[in-house]
Amino acid sequence: MNKEIVTQFQEIAGTEQVLIQEPMKNHTTFRIGGPAACFVRPQDAGQVERILHICRENEVPWFILGNGSNLLVSDRGFDGVIIQIYRNMSRIQVSGHHMTVQAGALLSAVAKQALREGLSGLEFASGIPGTVGGAVVMNAGAYGGEMKDVVESVTVLDEEGAVRKLAREELQMGYRTSLVKKKGYTVLEAVLKLNDGDPAAISARMEELKEQRVSKQPLEYPSAGSTFKRPEGYFAGKLIMDSGLRGFRVGGAQISEKHCGFVINTGDATAEDVVRLIRQVQDIVYEKFHVKLEPEVRFLGIF
């Protein structure tokens, strides 16, 4: 990484917020990934804007990272700039039925704040490990709820670096996709609209969903959540199970015995292990059922 560019990042975000050759296994829930050439943690929207401007001006590859909960990074790492919008940008403000949330706030934290305020509608997200920014990009969902149900507007940086505010109707939020994803916009902030609710009922629903997750998902292992998108008319996990692949493994990567929709890191998995496993599962499921499984996990780097 060009030293002059690194110095500019340090001047913008602070020396302690700029890391060189940072292992990405430390920043993904898979606990897998080689080093990022440069890892920057901006502290506000203005810093994000300036850092992205430098990347574009110098034609440096860049990637926006939240909590790294839906990401597989190559063993060779990423020869560019990782811009992490996370704890430094996680402010939550509440006004009536509206929550204005910075992109780096964890969904679990936002759901807990909604509970404290007696606001209902975000219970489904209480166990999703990602940030609000990532959730908007992917239109994250669980247990019958999706981000499109609660998002009123989103503030983004567009491909030209201009700040834009997009209303719900403009976001084109569909199954694990959105205009933000298609255009490569960077989420800065979202406004969520919730409903009045009984705190006891909200808490009970969150606890019920927590129990479902603990009993059915392999939370004791590093993973990136559901590995495959849900094929129309099917469930990925059932197709994998019915293909006889429960517990199937390649190196340190394994199809969870608890939930076949999850690929887990048993302790020493490499990104190559995971990719080989995914490809073999895709081939076997297609051969047996003529259904093509599409990964939900995002891939970063050279594979």
Whose CA is closest to 29, among 206, 229, 263? 263
Q: Does residue 146 have an active-site annotation?
A: no
* Catalytic-role residue among 176, 178, 189, 243: 176
* Catalytic-role residue among 22, 123, 146, 296: 296
- List CB contacts of 251: < 8 A, sequence separation 6 or more: 268, 269, 270, 272, 273, 276
- DSSP assignments along the chain, one per residue: --HHHHHHHHHHH-GGGEEEEEEGGGSSTT----EEEEEE---SHHHHHHHHHHHHHTT--EEEESS-TTEEE-TT-EEEEEEE-SGGG--EEEETTEEEEETTSBHHHHHHHHHHTTEES-GGGTT--SBHHHHHHHT-EETTEEGGGTEEEEEEE-TTS-EEEEEGGGS--BTTB-HHHHHT-EEEEEEEE-EE--HHHHHHHHHHHHHHHHHHS-TTS-EEEE-B---TTS-HHHHHHHTT-TT-EETTEEE-SS-TTEEEE-SS--HHHHHHHHHHHHHHHHHHH-----B-SEEES--
Average pLDDT over all residues of the chain: 96
Q: What is d(CA 24, CA 44) in angstroms, rounded to the nearest whole number?
A: 22
pLDDT, one tens digit per residue, over 123-139 is 999 999 999 999 999 99
Q: What is d(CA 164, CA 275) in angstroms, rounded to the nearest whole number?
A: 36
* Catalytic-role residue among 120, 226, 243, 256: 226
Q: Does residue 296 have an active-site annotation?
A: yes
**Mean pLDDT across 60-72:** 96
Q: What confidence score (pLDDT) does residue 1 get?
A: 82
- Split at pLDDT 50, 70, 90, the class of 43 is very high
The C-alpha R_g of the chain, in whole angstroms, comes to 19
Q: What confidence score (pLDDT) does residue 102 get?
A: 98
Residue 270 has pLDDT above 90, yes or no: yes
Question: Angle 72-77-82 (CA atoms, 0-180°, nearest 5)?
Answer: 85
Q: Does residue 207 have an active-site annotation?
A: no
Distance of CA 102 to the CA centre of its chain: 15
Is 0.85 surpassed by the pTM of this model?
Answer: yes
Distances (CA, A) of 272 to 93, 100, 257, 259, 302: 41, 39, 21, 22, 10
pLDDT, one tens digit per residue, over 198-256 is 999 999 999 999 999 999 999 999 999 999 999 999 999 999 999 999 999 999 999 99
